[in-house]
Chains A and B, each alone.
Chain A
Amino acid sequence: MMRGDVEAMTVPELVERFTSIALEQHEALLKDEIAKFTELYRQMDIVRNELKSRPGDQRKALLPLYDHPNMQVRLKAAVTTLAVAPEPARRMLQWIANTRRMPQAGDAGMLLSGLDDGSFVPS
């Protein structure tokens, strides 16, 4: 997927694409498919940047994904919305960390640590 592929998408379509990428990431994590995960991370960045560039910063359209049954979708939605909805996003990260469900809980804990010590600043 290239940047041009997402420019024509509506916001709901971008949210749907974001969700499907996160679900594929979940599968890649289960199967230790590192190269695939890395490519999916790049694809998710394209979607994130496209949402950010839309009027009003449409990353907030990812907030409903906090309810998604898949933990990877929740984690990525929370990380991506930190800049636009810091308090709910932080609560979501704390919730994920509290589940103790790895690897997402570990990532959430490390992100919270970075937020606390200032070494991770969402943009």
Chain B
Amino acid sequence: MPPWPSYRLYAMPQTWQAQLEIAKAIRTLFAQEEADQHIQRNAQLASVRSDRELIADIFREVWRELCKAGFDPDEPRVSAGNPAGGQWTTEGGTGSSADPRIVSDATPDNNWRSGARYAANDPPGIGYNQGPPLEEPPEIPPDLPATKKAINAFLKAAAYWLADAALAGEPIGDFLLALQAAEWLYEFRPYIDAYLDPPKTLEELQQDALNPQVGYNIHHIVEQKSAGQDGFPWSMIDAPENRVRIPTLVHWEINAWYSIPNERFGGLSPRDYLRGKSWGERMRVGEDALVMFGVLTP
């Protein structure tokens, strides 16, 4: 099996140009000396750590800096930890977009030529600024969206855009600043932090299931509902071997993936494909999904 891509890297840039954009945004927003230290530390980290770990660290540092800038994690709100129900109880914040005073000084060096028919013969290389033209970033809701679906849609759209911007070598600082202005996003810090976890071994994920935490869901590798409908006993479905703790956002993604038609399964959804299949086949597909979505080490 080829190495599976990790979906979670799409939440953050994979190129040094883009990562430096983050650092520049931080530097403009906050104390310059501190940001310089971050850049130096990230450069040191880059030489010894994987991209995934590095990007996760950078993202966490961004969040820490945002907190320093005035976000108050103790501000009263209800249903903390519930992405659908978390609501600030006080009015505040502008909910506006990026501060117009802060402008990225990065020079885009994307040499992609619109209309050039190169991809069919020689797909553009990742990280070489030859990606497709960048679409507009998603509009950031000024307030917490009313439904989980809407929240999920925005988080995914934002993550996709950040990934595409990184691929294109385009500046992302302004968009990060706009995200910073949307106070409701702070509620989702545990979910985003969890989303950036590096992949773990199956044993680690199973062990984590014994320790539920905000930002994560207990996920059944073999889907519990369809397995139950096909007669597998609950003792098997809910056994520790079948329970893993994974980031909530990934849990949502995998559930959606199980539901939609897929050429790989002859046009059936994975869920329909698995009807009547053995436990072993269900486990194989379930583990493949965990690898595919970047939570399980290949």
Contacts and interface: CB of A to CB of B under 8 A. Distances in A.
Contacts of A97: 2, 4-5
A34 B120 contact: no
Contacts, number: 135
A12 interface: no
Interface range, A side: 35 or more
B5 A98 contact: yes
Interface in A100-120: 100-103, 105-114, 116-117, 120
B180 interface: no
A67 interface: yes
A46 to B, nearest CB: 12
Given A106-B5, A112-B2, A67 B117 contact: yes
Contacts of A63: 120
Contacts of A106: 4-5, 7, 257, 289, 292-293
Interface in A67-122: 67-71, 74, 79, 85, 88, 91-92, 94-95, 97-103, 105-114, 116-117, 120
Contacts of A92: 119-120, 123
Interface string A50-70: 000000000000011011111
Contact of B118 (A67, A99, A105): A67
B126 A99 contact: yes
Nearest to B126: A98
B264 interface: yes
B123 A95 contact: yes
Contacts of A108: 5
A99 B134 CA distance: 14
The A interface, classified by DSSP as helix, strand, loop or mixed, is helix
Contacts of B253: 102-103
Contacts of B293: 102, 106
Interface stretch (B75-83, B98-106, B159-167, B221-229): B159-167
Given A32-B256, A69-B134, A88-B121, A100 B6 contact: yes
24 contacts: A29-B256, A30-B156, A31-B149, A31-B150, A32-B152, A37-B261, A41-B261, A63-B120, A70-B132, A71-B164, A85-B120, A88-B120, A92-B120, A95-B119, A95-B123, A97-B5, A100-B6, A100-B7, A100-B163, A101-B164, A102-B5, A105-B10, A106-B289, A108-B5
Given A30-B153, A99-B126, A103-B257, 10 more contacts: A41-B261, A41-B267, A42-B261, A69-B135, A94-B123, A99-B163, A100-B14, A106-B293, A107-B262, A120-B264
Interface of B: 1-2, 4-7, 9-10, 14, 115-124, 126, 132-135, 149-150, 152-153, 156-157, 160, 163-164, 167, 252-253, 256-257, 259-264, 267, 269, 288-289, 292-294
